[in-house]
Structure 1
Amino acid sequence: MLNHIYPWRSLLRKSLNLSPITSLGFTKHSVSAAKLHDESADASIPNDAVRQILIGLRSFGASKFLWGHHFQTLASVLNTHQVDQILLSLRVDNSDSALFLFDLLRNEYGFRHSRVSWFIVSHVVARKGQSKELRRVLNQMVEEEGSGSAPSLCELLCNSFRDWDLNNVVWDMLACAYSRAEMVHDALFVLAKMKVLNLQVSIATYNSLLYNLRHTDIMWDVYNEIKASGVPQNEYTNPILIDGLCRQSRLQDAVTFLRETGGEEFGPSVVSFNALMSGFCKMGSVDVAKSFFCMMIKYGLLPDVYSYNILLHGLCVAGSMEEALEFTNDMENHGVEPDIVTYNILANGFRILGLISGAWKVVQRMLLNGLNPDLVTYTILICGHCQMGNIEESFKLKEKMLSQGLKLSIVTYTVLLSSLCKSGRIDEAVILLHEMEVIGLKPDLLTYSRGAVEEAIELYEEMCSKRIYPNSFVCSAIISGLFEKGAISEAQMYFDSVTKSDVAEEIILYNIMIDGYAKLGNIGEAVRSYKQIIEKGISPTIVTFNSLIYGFCKKGKLAEAVKLLDTIKVHGLVPTSVTYTTLMNGYCEEGDMHSMFDMLHEMEAKAIKPTQITYTVVVKGLCKEGRLHESVQLLKYMYARGLFPDQITYNTVIQSFCKAHDLQKAFQLHNQMLQHSLQPSPVTYNVLINGLCVYGNLKDADRLLVTLQDQSIRLTKVAYTTIIKAHCAKGDVQNALVFFHQMVERGFEVSIRDYSAVINRLCKRNLITDAKFFFCMMLTHGIPPDQDICLVMLNAFHRSGDPNSVFEIFAMMIKCGLLPV
């Protein structure tokens, strides 16, 4: 049986904030539950309200009494202890009434039951053999109690319910409920406690845990626990494990495990083969996936629609549409009906190739088979027509979607907006934006970033022509947008035209201009704008000076930046935390940590509270000096003061530990981010992946990247280029090519710099044939070579004694106007 131990397994385990079963400790928690009575507890009923309810239920029955006016009066005064007593009294002789009362109080009266009541009802349901109802009750309880509640619930079960009938079933279902709610720590705690109490865990609960842990190595702990416990596996156990290995990119391990378990009662299944095919398709190895498809049939297993869809998707992404269509015909010939996903995969395959007519043929085929296009289908078609510049057809499809009751997604709107903006149809773009707001869809950064710079100017001119004059808020948004786009001259022209009109609060617009120039490092223009403010008699604000200070610090002119502190006082303004933080960062960049700390002390002396950004600057300074332990202590200090470090703060420290070759501490800090509900940014993962590539194990970097892909965590192009370069440097061309294709498939724009980085490294390793392959691939993708890359290839071919290739490159340089040197 597989039991591989990889480096960084413990680190990746901790990254997911999980612990193996064997490492769990049992900390005793106090429980404030009243001691339960036995089944003859009627003699100790505490008060008249409880007695009246019990008498009413026994005399009139639950359906009649509990909906009556008298019960409504009694229910208004009930407390949790009284409800515990009622349920306890009813649980054996009148269990139906107990369940009815429990649900009625919770659902109709909003009553919050005690943990004791939850467990009484759980045991009642278990005794009746209603497993689905038991699952519902415990799922609701776990959802209400939340994460971290397992220790106290386990203590209550141990102390007050140990001798109850079917207590084992309740324990097992509690563990399963935690697992289904993805509270894995709690589920593991319950399982460990059950082991101590010698209670049997069901295979359903084990499988649920395996499923939730399949992206981590902890799944092996659970699997080994299943083996040790002697609990019979079912048909789902091994497929879950194989799927987990595939998700961790351990495809060879998954294949080995499939072979080793082939002779067991529940041997290879369709689900197992589907997981393997999906894993290889994601790695770009469609041919390998096809071989497993054939192997599945040899095992006597019939592929299902998911099997076909997995391979179809792999073929379509690879651009093999002809083979994909043949495969679809084979699917139908073997009696497997294509579903809506099948047709969407095919339609998108044609869309990727720019063959919108092919996508429409797929839709026609879909309709003939009695399936109606869904949101995904329409979005594919709209994207295809927009790519072809046929906006009118896209809007016809949009109206057809709406007429069929389908709601457009943010993706669909973004594609339409982009097409309108590129076509200069500003009026329609504004109407579409308004439509999005009406239906509650907020445009995101992607939506706005698709427009051209000229759109803002066109929109402003059109508003003015209709005598709709934008206020300073609208104008400032437009100027900011132009600066962000890099359209500096347009921003200045727009600013000049706007400031001639009677736009209110011009200081806002001047501040944006000063800030824009300062961020660009053009402190001369920023100062010129400041002088205009003074000449016009407009009072500057603290924002004005903060931007100027930033500009001077960016240019390394700290003396001028510090002088502005006196100017601020002259204007009757008070420096803010931003003012001091900017100056501190300036000193930090210059390596003057002494002055940085002096500035911090001055700030505190003036009762100006440091912010999270202030401490981030201090953290950066400590890291620059190699005082990493102090930087970690400062993170703890921030939390103690109610300030929460952000991704930038953590990234700074993580990167420093990576450079110090302490990857274990870097991953621990990543875990700390997750513990504080702070989602690591793409930069965080760029840093960790680079650290693994440079100072750790490249295979671990591969696994981390693929795991992040499987979890749909947003990554940047840097993550891919880092791993590609690392593989090239080690001469591992096959994996470099796999990740290169993945980078392209995920829509990242590949430039000549990316190809140059790969080709240079391959040539240094004397892998000329592989370098030539990437060079040809670059030309195939329509990227012309530059002089540097041609010279690299010329030298490589010259060294390898390949004169024909030398002349080919030489001729290509002349043809491209690249004069050889």
Structure 2
Amino acid sequence: MFIKSSVSIAKLDDEATTSSAVRNPRDTVGEILAGLRSFGLRRFVSGDYFQTVVLTLSGPQVDQIIDALRVERPDFAVDFFHILSEEYGFLHSRVSRFIASHVLAGKRRFKEMQLVIKQTVEEEGSGSAPSLCALLFNSFRGWDSNIVIWDMLAFQYSRFEMVQDALFVLAKMKDLNMHASIQTYNSLLHNLRDAETMWDMHNEIEVSGTPPNEYTQSILIDGLCEQSRLQDAVSFLQDVKGKDTELSIVWFNTIMSRFCTLGYVDVAQSFFCMMLKCGLFPDSYSYNILIHGLCVAGSMEEALEFKQDMEKHGVEPDIVTYKILAKGFRLLGLMSGAWMVIQDMLLKGFNPDLFTYTLLICGHCQIGNIDEGLKLREEMLSQGFQLSIISYSILLSSLCKSNRVEEAVRLLYEMEAISLKPDVITYSILIHGLCKKGEVHRAIQLYSEMCSRRILPNNFTHGSLLLGLCQKGNIAEARKYFDDLIARNLVDDIVLYNVMMNGYIKLGNIAEAVRLYRKLAEKGISPSIVTFNILIYGFCKNNKLGEARKLLDTTNLHGLVPSVVTYTTLMNAYCEEGNMHKMFELLREMEEKAVKPTHITYTVLIKGLCKQWKLQESVQLLEDMHAKGLIPDQVTYNTIIQSFCKASDPRRAFQLHNEMLQHYLEPTSVTYNILIDGLCVYGDLRDADKLLLSLENEKLNLTKVAYTTIVKAHCAKGDINRAVIFFRQMVENGFRTSIRDYSAVINRLCKRHRINEAKYFFCMMLSDGISPDQEICKVMLLAFHREGDLDSVFELLGEMIKFGFLPY
């Protein structure tokens, strides 16, 4: 009907609409072809006839149409192919796809051809190569662009990591004397870079006659490095260099990166120098590799030198360079260095991103500077950044560790306000923080909230609640919760058992802890060394050292090695008994089992020696600690200093104090309390005065104990004026005074008949809001009576009645 020249478009549409729904398929193909020839593609496909018939077209019919158009109008063939798939959702057959691909390749529309082959491979899937190759061989052999289609098919299989299919296509191409492109070979080589067959693929490239490119060699070197065949990679690089082939900076970067990953930064630096000798100029990536390696190794100073070197040679540090350096400083806890790097980055015009902020927040929290971390959070929010759940978790953890749980809870609700859903870690951190603070009730509320949101608690959550209940003394409630977990089969390891046993031990209930220990065998749960440490501590606390020692031997039956805590706990118990023989016997046993003692272990030994007045031996042990690289802490020194003070040897005590300073160990307020007390009791009181005044001048932390000690000493010596002076200094320095402090001074003053001073202190006590007790009133009444000051006697009697004391 279309060959009639008198037929108008209106007539065509009308007849097409009223034509029979049942058509001869061959006639349909012919009609569509005739319509396309007569009216053109766009006019024809927009007509009512095509809109009706298109839905009835089969795959073979479309194949015939596209094949016919390929010969007559190749542009129509491709456009018709796309219209059917894009506008009508038609699923083309393999034949149509290959026809369209050949046409596109012939017209050098390679991107469109690549897309068609890509969709074909994606839809056909793994294992489809044999059938597709058979179709290409049987139906498309001899077509002009056939080799391009074969090559693209192999390439797409490789891109989808269907390596076996890609290799099958290559094998068939080889049989047909077709050569694959280097892009296809490179893609396959990249997929095989982790396998031993990578080298075989490289040899095949050379045999095929397809010239490799720079990317080929880069893949090969990368593969050898991935397989840790660094010697082969270096040999290959030297072989390429010997052939006068132009070297690539990428090859050197790849080798340097691998050596840095393995920790051989010095070797990587030698390749950096070799690159310069070969006339290659390092890029920012080259420098970043070495800077990262040096940062991981902790050589921050050298890393900064490399950064300066890259600037000196005209290579500008990029955002990656600054992030590497900032992260390096953070890992070492050097936040001042990290901040210096960030400031330099900002001066160079780089804006801080989410990574930079998160890095700084983590770093500040790591060194305990939580307020700086919170400031950065506010800055992030003002800049439009949303903190990740990791950043919030770090802030929450730091706040809880600093006992700022209320602020942590507010952060939790801030997360919800910005639609960031808390996870089990977030809730567990807060529950642990609340339990640690003693707010177990609130922790249980938060636990219930977490469960209502279908967030399953983990062992850390359960352990925190159990620990909180035990610390509050609610052992019965803790046991009920523990038994409920067991009933629901939620206790599958030793951790929660340890928490419960430790709770019983802290309350002195060793029997119940032992019963729980015996239940472990029934449940098939193996005890840990922590389990034994808890029980050993319990037995030592209850003076059952024989049982504790038996438990130490029992650890071997369970294949466990006693820890330093195990031995130190037992040694401390023997120390309290004064059994030095057993203490050093345990020390020898530790050394035999290669359990290294800590400074706490040695402090226990020193305490034992000091108790037996073996002060020279304790000093020798202190020197042994330094020789073994163990750093004594303030407790260690305080123990020996106190013993020398009690031995009336303050000179030696001060020598140990000076030794602390030489070892950069800051004496604590306890250290100075011991020294002042030693001078007051066993030495010269004037030296005690001088020490206290010098500590005040140096703004060192002094405690109330230092003042009360020296006040009592002056009162005992009869130097009331000095006692009054130091008491006033104590009050002026902001220390809170009690009835006991005033009683000690007033009693001394009254005994020394210093009634006016006693009366002054009595009035000072009242002005401080401290109510007197009957004893101090009795002392004052007797003093006034002895002095014949009856007015003061009656005045004080009146005051006593006001305070509710009945005169006797």
Residue 178 of structure 1: which of 146, 157, 172 is its match? 157
SS at match of 1:419: helix
For 1:229, the equivalent position in structure 2 comes to: 208
* Aligned-partner Cα distance in 1 for 2:61–2:129: 25
CA separation of 1:118 and 1:549: change in aligned 2, threshold 3 A: farther
> Greater shift after overlay, 178-187 or 297-306?
178-187
SS at match of 2:373: helix
Q: Is the 8 A contact 1:356 1:385 kept in 2?
A: yes
Question: Are 1:461 and 2:441 counterparts?
Answer: yes
Quote the RMSD (CA, aligned, Å): 4.5
The Cα of 1:50 is off from its aligned counterpart by 4.0
CA separation of 1:480 and 1:301: change in aligned 2, threshold 3 A: closer
For 1:386, the equivalent position in structure 2 comes to: 365
Instruction: Look up the equivalent residue of 1:461 and give its one-letter code.
Output: H
CA separation of 1:401 and 1:54: change in aligned 2, threshold 3 A: farther
Q: Is the 8 A contact 1:422 1:452 kept in 2?
A: no
Residue 347 of structure 2: which of 363, 368, 372 is its match? 368
For 2:391, the equivalent position in structure 1 comes to: 412
Q: Is the 8 A contact 1:126 1:166 kept in 2?
A: yes
Residue 812 of structure 1: which of 628, 643, 653 is its match? 628
* Aligned-partner Cα distance in 1 for 2:43–2:411: 56
Residue 81 of structure 1: which of 51, 60, 69 is its match? 60
The Cα of 1:93 is off from its aligned counterpart by 3.4
SS at match of 1:328: helix
Instruction: Look up the equivalent residue of 2:102 and give its one-letter code.
Output: H
SS at match of 1:214: coil
The Cα of 1:226 is off from its aligned counterpart by 0.7
* Aligned-partner Cα distance in 2 for 1:423–1:68: 77
For 1:612, the equivalent position in structure 2 comes to: none
CA separation of 1:472 and 1:285: change in aligned 2, threshold 3 A: closer
Residue 102 of structure 1: which of 81, 96, 104 is its match? 81
SS at match of 1:84: helix
For 1:115, the equivalent position in structure 2 comes to: 94
Instruction: Look up the equivalent residue of 2:58 and give its one-letter code.
Output: N
The Cα of 1:193 is off from its aligned counterpart by 2.1
* Aligned-partner Cα distance in 1 for 2:313–2:498: 74
Q: Is the 8 A contact 1:463 1:470 kept in 2?
A: no
The Cα of 1:387 is off from its aligned counterpart by 1.5
- Mapping for residues 663-742 of structure 1, pairs under 5 Å: none
Residue 554 of structure 1: which of 518, 524, 528 is its match? 524
* Aligned-partner Cα distance in 1 for 2:597–2:340: 29
The Cα of 1:55 is off from its aligned counterpart by 4.1
Instruction: Look up the equivalent residue of 1:94 and give its one-letter code.
Output: R
The Cα of 1:482 is off from its aligned counterpart by 4.3
CA separation of 1:465 and 1:194: change in aligned 2, threshold 3 A: closer
For 2:484, the equivalent position in structure 1 comes to: 510
**Cα offsets for 1:452-494 (capped at 9, x unmatched):** 735468776237889x976986899669654456946848977
* Aligned-partner Cα distance in 1 for 2:625–2:499: 47
* Aligned-partner Cα distance in 2 for 1:96–1:65: 15
* Aligned-partner Cα distance in 2 for 1:471–1:445: 8
**Cα offsets for 1:342-382 (capped at 9, x unmatched):** 11111112212222232233223223333222232222122
CA separation of 1:521 and 1:318: change in aligned 2, threshold 3 A: closer
Instruction: Look up the equivalent residue of 1:462 and give its one-letter code.
Output: R
**Cα offsets for 1:194-216 (capped at 9, x unmatched):** 22222111111111111122122
* Aligned-partner Cα distance in 1 for 2:330–2:37: 69
Question: Are 1:192 and 2:171 counterparts?
Answer: yes
The Cα of 1:273 is off from its aligned counterpart by 0.2
TM-score, normalised to structure 1, is 0.54
* Aligned-partner Cα distance in 2 for 1:366–1:142: 46
Residue 182 of structure 2: which of 203, 227, 235 is its match? 203
Q: Is the 8 A contact 1:482 1:491 kept in 2?
A: no
The Cα of 1:100 is off from its aligned counterpart by 2.8
5+ long unaligned stretches in structure 2: 1-22, 501-517, 527-562, 566-590, 603-622, 637-808
Residue 273 of structure 2: which of 294, 304, 319 is its match? 294
SS at match of 2:351: coil
For 2:293, the equivalent position in structure 1 comes to: 314
Q: Is the 8 A contact 1:417 1:429 kept in 2?
A: yes
For 1:14, the equivalent position in structure 2 comes to: none
Question: Are 1:215 and 2:194 counterparts?
Answer: yes
SS at match of 2:56: coil
5+ long unaligned stretches in structure 1: 1-43, 501-505, 527-547, 557-750, 754-774, 788-806
* Aligned-partner Cα distance in 2 for 1:204–1:352: 42
Instruction: Look up the equivalent residue of 1:352 and give its one-letter code.
Output: L
For 2:326, the equivalent position in structure 1 comes to: 347
CA separation of 1:175 and 1:499: change in aligned 2, threshold 3 A: same
**Cα offsets for 1:248-284 (capped at 9, x unmatched):** 1111111111111213364431010000100110111
* Aligned-partner Cα distance in 1 for 2:499–2:628: 45
- Mapping for residues 796-811 of structure 1, pairs under 5 Å: 811=627
What's the % identity of the aligned pairs? 54
TM-score, normalised to structure 2, is 0.55
Question: Are 1:241 and 2:215 counterparts?
Answer: no
* Aligned-partner Cα distance in 2 for 1:395–1:88: 69
Question: Are 1:167 and 2:146 counterparts?
Answer: yes
Q: Is the 8 A contact 2:599 2:631 kept in 1?
A: no
* Aligned-partner Cα distance in 2 for 1:163–1:438: 67
Q: Is the 8 A contact 2:435 2:467 kept in 1?
A: no
CA separation of 1:395 and 1:814: change in aligned 2, threshold 3 A: closer
CA separation of 1:113 and 1:495: change in aligned 2, threshold 3 A: farther
CA separation of 1:108 and 1:783: change in aligned 2, threshold 3 A: farther
> Greater shift after overlay, 273-282 or 146-155?
146-155
Q: Is the 8 A contact 2:101 2:113 kept in 1?
A: yes
* Larger RCO, structures 1/2 (Cα 8 Å, 6+ apart): 1
Q: Is the 8 A contact 2:249 2:275 kept in 1?
A: yes
Q: Which has the larger radius of gyration?
A: 2
**Aligned residue pair count:** 509
The Cα of 1:414 is off from its aligned counterpart by 3.6
* Aligned-partner Cα distance in 2 for 1:302–1:814: 48
* Aligned-partner Cα distance in 2 for 1:555–1:84: 69
* Aligned-partner Cα distance in 2 for 1:408–1:476: 21
Instruction: Look up the equivalent residue of 1:416 and give its one-letter code.
Output: L
Q: Is the 8 A contact 1:381 1:394 kept in 2?
A: yes
For 1:559, the equivalent position in structure 2 comes to: none
Q: Is the 8 A contact 2:463 2:496 kept in 1?
A: no
Q: Is the 8 A contact 1:344 1:377 kept in 2?
A: yes
- Mapping for residues 479-628 of structure 1, pairs under 5 Å: 481-483=460-462, 487=466, 490=469, 497=477, 510=484, 512=486, 515-516=489-490, 519-520=493-494, 552=522, 554=524
Instruction: Look up the equivalent residue of 2:315 and give its one-letter code.
Output: V
The Cα of 1:222 is off from its aligned counterpart by 0.6
Instruction: Look up the equivalent residue of 2:251 and give its one-letter code.
Output: S
* Aligned-partner Cα distance in 1 for 2:373–2:179: 59
**Cα offsets for 1:208-233 (capped at 9, x unmatched):** 11112212222111101111112111
Q: Is the 8 A contact 1:479 1:494 kept in 2?
A: no
* Aligned-partner Cα distance in 2 for 1:313–1:782: 36
- Mapping for residues 278-293 of structure 1, pairs under 5 Å: 278-293=257-272
* Aligned-partner Cα distance in 2 for 1:782–1:348: 34
Q: Is the 8 A contact 1:54 1:86 kept in 2?
A: yes
* Aligned-partner Cα distance in 1 for 2:126–2:85: 21
CA separation of 1:518 and 1:284: change in aligned 2, threshold 3 A: closer
For 2:129, the equivalent position in structure 1 comes to: 150
For 1:622, the equivalent position in structure 2 comes to: none
